[in-house]
């Protein structure tokens, strides 16, 4: 049975979410499908799933769910016990741990609920360290959920507390997170100011300095200041390398690859990405990083006209995302596959964008991601001469960017619409 | 490719240089942990006039690989040999760094050996590496010299952006049928395995008919999500459903006056089959969300890689639609049944793609030809084209050689000529290899693999576990 047919049998219930993920990860494509004329346009919905494969893995899946619930229940018992003996910090720590468990399982809204309960207890303590820590993690989580103004409020409170407590480490954490929030909102000057403030306090803290330099370098690249970006990322690399931070090295090299792309040094970019892949294998969450880097490699190949290589990298990224339960990453992958088809003038490439949009809806992903897909879909239609559809998708993206105060996104859509008007 | 058992006696012979002289000296880059002192490996390599460099970690190695040209990489695996093998094979292939990988592992399992073979690894050595095994691996790499098979001159018949290539008797039958439908507007059903060229023939039918000047519109019924296929075929009005952001003209209407090619027609749902039948019979369609009947005049050509007759028997395909589509049936042959068309097609693709990539390719080696001839070609001509394109992209010379083959095909070339009795396979090894090959063909599907092998899936699962596949 095709995945798209199987998914239709699953009602949209929270309890079914793990089964939905399993269904995607055990889906397969056989040699025959691969070479069929539809093989080139294969998306996860068209892969096959066998009931036997699902059945074989059900016990393991239920084991994971049980272990997760056991972890949560135990932390509640610990929290009750600690609270009963008047040890509020221990109760808060247990609840925070539960939030962390949910966050690692990708259950962000549930994690938020745990942090909220923990925070209610923490505000009553005279020692503010737990409160400022919880405010920061809530800020970061709310940013992940796309609620930037709220995220900024949590982090501002965390920063104020950290300064009052003279907790320099927490001040740096808050500055970095505020930088991340500003960056996510497209407020690049604000982001730079926060990162620089964090850096000014950081002195010689090694890897932490590396991360802040990396973020500043990434910002500089985004603003087109390639030389500054190369310098900052180069310095970040020294700190990451000295600190032996594999994930940091992978991300730094990946960022350096993007700088090389901006400089037009495509071979150097490719080498940097490949080296990043090597480092990513040793860091935490290697699959996520691998998918990230492969997407960049594919983007590079796409821009260099090496379409076959781009498709190969994207298919590997797709395989990795499916195998490691990272279905949300498929959205970017299919968007790029759609762009690839568009370059070749293949009208049927629309199936990739439709699949990406379908995943955004099914997995309830951030609307901004959906807006990004709509921009690419609009460009795809524009290139094929479907002006009405192109305009409709661009306008839809523009509305989302507007609602979420995404200045960069709004500008991008305006530019695309103007280009479209000229073409007409 | 062979493993190097500890028990093999050390060769007490004077090493013969294999490096190829100053102009083409073999250069090997060693990466990873301690396998034998680097200076010792360098000495053993220099005895064969081979240059050997050592890099203690992967990131540094990746930098060296990007900066310089290497003949082979000797990778020392740690505690995750399977992952490391995949990573190295993948990295060397994608980055087009070198085609040769020598792997070194502690007590390599049979599963690892099989995977290494499948991935085209030149040799798998056991740690600690011994002089004879190391030098044998270098000799094997150096010995891969190949002789040229010049491409023949190919007569092709252009069909739009495609071409008809082939002179085999089975293709002559196809051409005869094509000639019979030329000049008519009869509905044609093309049947054949994936990649046999159904769309090319469909275009040829269109171009040889009276509607040649009108549009040829192709719809791939298997690629499009079921819920969107109806709107793709018949069009929709703005707001007809979520996602209908603008009015859309359907493919039926786009093809008016010309030909509508329904590829993978067996994938249509019964509901849609009924709607297509009505459109064909009444020569009009309705857009989704619109009440207006729109007249359409199209010639239908359908294609499928399945047995459509059998699908009607089982009720998965409407019989009335089948008879509408199968007025004339053209069966397309599998590539393996087309004899020397394989060479003509390979030559045609190589010439055509070399031009696109700005290269000059005039021949392939006899060994490449042997590999191509021994393939089952599940994906037929499409798979062949894909393989040739990959080869042309990585080729550095005018002759396509084994080192240009994709890794999964390179493994098939590895039949060591110097296999001694000690290297012969045990029954278990042969069984494991065969299972691995079938698994690779079915894309790892246990059910299909068990069916092909004729054993129960539980038995297969046990064997997969047992052999570490």
Residue B21 has pLDDT above 50, yes or no: no
User: Which of A 47-86 lie inside 8 A of B, CB atoms?
Assistant: 50, 52-53
Per-residue pLDDT at B8 exceeds 50? no
Pick the residue from chain B with its C-alpha nearest to A26. B445
Within an 8 Å CB–CB cutoff, is residue A277 touching chain B? Answer: yes
B145 pLDDT exceeds 70? no
Helix-strand-coil split of chain A, %, nearest 5:
80, 0, 15
Q: Are B228 and A354 a contacting pair at CB < 8 A?
A: yes
SS3 category, A17 = helix
Nearest CA-CA distance, residue B22 and chain A, Å: 27
Minimal-distance CA residue of chain B relative to A346: B218
Residues of chain B contacting residue A5, judged by C-beta atoms under 8 Å apart? 226
Check pLDDT > 70 for residue B20: no
The mean-pLDDT minimum among A193-197, A329-333, B3-7, B59-63 falls in B3-7
Are the Cβ atoms of B246 and A389 closer than 8 angstroms? Answer: yes
Q: A residues 333-352 near B, CB within 8 Å?
A: 348, 351
* Pairwise CB contact (< 8 Å): B220 & A41: yes
In the prediction, which pLDDT does B10 show?
32
Confidence category of residue B302, pLDDT binned at 50, 70, 90? very high
**pLDDT for B304 beyond 50:** yes
The answer to whether A39 contacts chain B (CB < 8 Å) is yes
The count of other CB atoms within 10 Å of the CB of residue A73 is 11
Q: Given an 8 Å threshold on Cβ–Cβ distance, is B243 in contact with A354? A: yes
**Per-residue pLDDT tens digits of chain A, which is 424 residues long:** 889 889 889 888 888 888 988 998 899 887 778 888 888 899 999 899 999 999 999 999 999 999 999 999 999 999 999 999 999 999 999 999 999 999 988 888 899 999 999 999 999 888 888 998 999 999 999 998 888 889 999 999 999 999 888 888 889 989 999 999 998 888 889 999 999 998 888 655 678 889 999 999 999 998 889 999 999 999 999 888 888 888 889 999 999 999 999 998 888 898 889 888 888 877 777 788 889 999 999 999 888 888 888 998 999 999 989 988 888 899 999 999 999 999 888 889 999 999 999 999 888 888 889 999 999 999 999 999 888 899 999 999 999 999 887 888 899 999 999 988 887 6
Judged by a CB distance cut-off of 8 A, whether residue A30 touches chain B is yes
B267: which chain A residues are within 8 Å (Cβ-Cβ)?
38
Residues 296-315 of A with CB under 8 A from B: 297, 306, 308-309, 312-313
Per-residue confidence band for B9, with pLDDT thresholds at 50, 70 and 90: very low
Which residues face A1 on adjacent strands? none
What's the pLDDT at B7? 34
Do A278 and B59 lie within an 8 Å CB cutoff? yes
Distance from C-alpha of B320 to C-alpha of A301, rounded to nearest angstrom: 48
Closest residue on chain B to A250 (Cα)? B59
DSSP state of A344: T
B447/A32 touch (CB, cutoff 8 Å), yes or no: no
ipTM: 0.76
> What percentage of chain B carries pLDDT values higher than 70?
83
- The candidate with the shortest Cα–Cα distance to A29, out of A42, A52, A47, A54, is A47
Residue A2's SS3 state is strand
Among A245-249, A390-394, B160-164, B421-425, the least confident range: B421-425
- Residue among B419, B414, B351, B362 at smallest CA distance from B385: B351
C-alpha–C-alpha distance, residues B166 and B332, integer Å: 12
Could you read off the pLDDT of B318-335 as tens digits, one per residue?
A: 999 999 999 999 999 999
Instruction: Name beta bridge partners: B52.
Output: B28
Q: Which of A8-12, B54-58, B195-199, B455-459 has the highest mean pLDDT?
A: B195-199
Decide if A316 touches B, using CB distance below 8 A: yes
Cα→Cα distances A211→A116, A215, A245, A278, Å:
28, 6, 10, 19
**Shortest Cα distance, chain A CAs vs residue B352, angstroms:** 16
Mean pLDDT of B288-297: 86
| Average confidence (pLDDT) over B223-232 | 89
Round to whole Å and give the CA distance between A327 and A317: 11
Higher pLDDT among residues A73 and B292, named by residue: A73
| Minimal Cβ distance to B382: which of A35, A306, A393 | A35
Share of chain B above pLDDT 90, in %: 36
pLDDT recorded at residue B17: 52
Q: What is the DSSP letter of A39?
A: G
Q: Are the Cβ atoms of B59 and A275 closer than 8 angstroms?
A: yes
Is the alpha carbon torsion for A171, A172, A176, A179 positive or negative?
positive
Q: Is B223 on the interface with A (CB under 8 A)?
A: yes
Shortest distance between the Cα of A204 and any Cα of chain B, in A, equals: 25
Count A/B contacts: CB-CB distance under 8 Å. Answer: 128
Tell if the CB–CB gap between A267 and B245 is shorter than 8 Å. no
Position B151 pLDDT exceeds 60: yes
Question: Rounded to whole angstroms, what are the CA distances from A172 to A162, A215, A220, B332?
Answer: 9, 13, 20, 68
Complete DSSP assignment for A232-264: HHHHHHHHHHHHT-HHHHHHHHHHHHHHHHHHT
Residue A38 to residue B223, Cβ atoms within 8 A = yes
B58 touches chain A (CB under 8 A): yes
End-to-end CA distance of chain B: 17
- Residues A349 and B366: their CA atoms lie apart, in Å, by 38
B93, pLDDT greater than 80? no
Question: Which residues of chain B have a CB within 8 Å of the CB of A309?
Answer: 94, 393
Tell me, yes or no, if B382 comes closer than 8 A to chain A by beta carbon. yes
For chain B, positions 79-118, list CB contacts with chain A under 8 A: 83, 87, 90-91, 94-95
**According to the model, what pLDDT value does residue B81 have?**
85
């Amino acid at each position: 049975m095709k995945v798209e047919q199987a998914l239709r049998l699953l009602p949209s219930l929270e309890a079914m979410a793990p089964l939905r993920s399993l269904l995607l990860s055990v889906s397969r494509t056989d040699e025959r499908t691969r070479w069929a004329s539809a093989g080139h346009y294969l998306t996860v919905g068209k892969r096959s799933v066998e009931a036997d494969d699902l059945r074989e893995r059900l016990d393991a899946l239920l084991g994971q769910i049980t272990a997760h619930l056991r972890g949560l229940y135990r932390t509640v018992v610990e929290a009750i016990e600690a609270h009963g003996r008047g040890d509020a910090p221990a109760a808060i720590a247990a609840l925070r741990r539960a939030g962390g468990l949910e966050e690692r399982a990708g259950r962000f809204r549930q994690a938020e609920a745990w942090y909220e309960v923990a925070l209610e207890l923490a505000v009553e303590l005279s020692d503010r360290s737990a409160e400022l820590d919880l405010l920061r993690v809530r800020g970061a989580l709310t940013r992940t959920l796309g609620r930037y103004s709220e995220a900024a409020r949590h982090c501002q409170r965390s920063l104020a507390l950290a300064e009052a407590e003279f907790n320099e480490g927490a001040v740096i954490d808050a500055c970095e997170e505020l930088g991340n929030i500003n960056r996510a909102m497209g407020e690049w000057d604000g982001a730079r100011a926060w990162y620089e403030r964090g850096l000014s306090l950081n002195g010689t803290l090694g890897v932490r300095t590396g991360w802040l330099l990396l973020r500043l370098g990434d910002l500089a690249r985004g603003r087109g200041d390639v030389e500054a970006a190369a310098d900052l990322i180069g310095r970040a690399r020294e700190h990451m390398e000295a600190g032996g931070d594999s994930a940091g090295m992978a991300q730094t090299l990946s960022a350096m690859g993007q700088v090389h792309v901006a400089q037009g040094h495509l071979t150097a970019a490719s080498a940097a990405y490949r080296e990043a892949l090597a480092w990513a294998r040793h860091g935490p969450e290697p699959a996520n990083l691998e998918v990230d880097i492969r997407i960049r490699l594919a983007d590079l190949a796409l821009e260099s006209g090496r379409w076959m290589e781009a498709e190969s990298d994207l298919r590997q990224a797709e395989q990795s995302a499916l195998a490691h339960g990272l279905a949300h990453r498929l959205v970017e992958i299919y968007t790029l596959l759609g762009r690839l088809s568009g370059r070749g003038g293949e009208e049927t490439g629309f199936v990739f964008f439709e699949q990406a949009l379908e995943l955004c809806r099914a997995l309830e992903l951030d609307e901004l991601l959906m807006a990004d897909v709509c921009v690419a879909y609009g460009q795809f239609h524009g290139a094929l001469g479907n002006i009405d559809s192109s305009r409709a998708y661009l306008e839809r993206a523009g509305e989302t960017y507007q609602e979420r105060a995404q200045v960069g996104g709004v500008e991008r859509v305006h530019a695309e619409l103007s280009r479209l008007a000229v073409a007409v | 490719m062979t493993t190097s058992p500890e028990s093999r006696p050390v060769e007490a012979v004077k090493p013969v240089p294999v490096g190829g002289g100053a102009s083409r000296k073999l250069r090997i880059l060693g990466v990873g942990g301690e396998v034998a002192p680097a200076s010792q490996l360098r000495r053993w390599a220099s005895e064969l006039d081979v240059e050997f460099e050592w890099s203690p970690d992967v990131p540094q190695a990746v930098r060296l690989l990007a900066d310089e040209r290497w003949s082979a990489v000797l990778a020392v695996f740690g505690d995750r040999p399977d992952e490391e093998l995949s990573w190295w094979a993948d990295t060397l292939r994608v980055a087009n760094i070198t085609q040769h990988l020598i792997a070194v592992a502690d007590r390599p399992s049979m599963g690892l050996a099989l995977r290494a073979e499948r991935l085209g690894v030149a040799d798998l050595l056991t740690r600690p590496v011994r002089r004879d095994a190391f030098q044998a691996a270098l000799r094997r790499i150096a010995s891969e010299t190949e002789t040229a098979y010049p491409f023949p001159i190919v007569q092709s018949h252009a069909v739009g952006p495609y071409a008809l290539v082939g002179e085999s008797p089975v293709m002559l039958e196809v051409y005869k049928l094509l000639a019979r439908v030329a000049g008519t507007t009869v509905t044609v059903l093309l049947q054949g395995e994936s990649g046999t060229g159904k769309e090319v023939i469909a275009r040829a039918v269109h171009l040889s008919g009276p509607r040649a000047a009108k549009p040829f519109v192709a719809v791939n019924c298997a690629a499009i999500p079921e819920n969107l296929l109806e709107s793709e075929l018949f069009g929709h009005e703005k707001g007809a459903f979520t996602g209908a952001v603008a009015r859309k003209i359907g493919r039926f209407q786009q093809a008016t006056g010309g030909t509508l090619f329904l590829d993978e027609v067996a994938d249509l749902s019964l509901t849609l089959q009924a709607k297509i039948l009505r459109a064909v019979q009444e020569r009009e369609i309705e857009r989704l969300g619109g009440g207006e009947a729109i007249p359409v005049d199209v010639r239908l050509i359908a294609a499928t890689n399945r047995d459509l007759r059998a699908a009607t028997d089982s009720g998965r395909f409407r019989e009335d639609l089948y008879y509408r589509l199968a007025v004339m049936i053209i069966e397309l042959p599998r590539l393996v049944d087309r004899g020397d068309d394989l060479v003509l097609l390979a030559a045609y693709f190589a010439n055509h793609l070399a031009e696109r990539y700005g290269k000059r390719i005039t021949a392939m080696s006899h060994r490449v030809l042997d590999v191509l001839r021994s393939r089952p070609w599940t994906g037929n001509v499409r798979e062949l084209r894909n393989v040739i394109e990959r080869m042309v992209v990585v080729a550095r010379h005018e002759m396509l050689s084994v080192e240009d083959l994709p890794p999964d095909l390179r493994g098939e070339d590895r039949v060591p000529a110097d296999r001694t009795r000690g290297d012969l396979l045990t029954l278990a090894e042969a069984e494991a290899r065969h299972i691995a090959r079938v698994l690779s063909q079915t894309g790892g599907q246990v059910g299909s693999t068990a069916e092909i092998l004729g054993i129960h899936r539980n038995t297969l699962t046990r064997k997969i576990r047992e052999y570490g596949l």
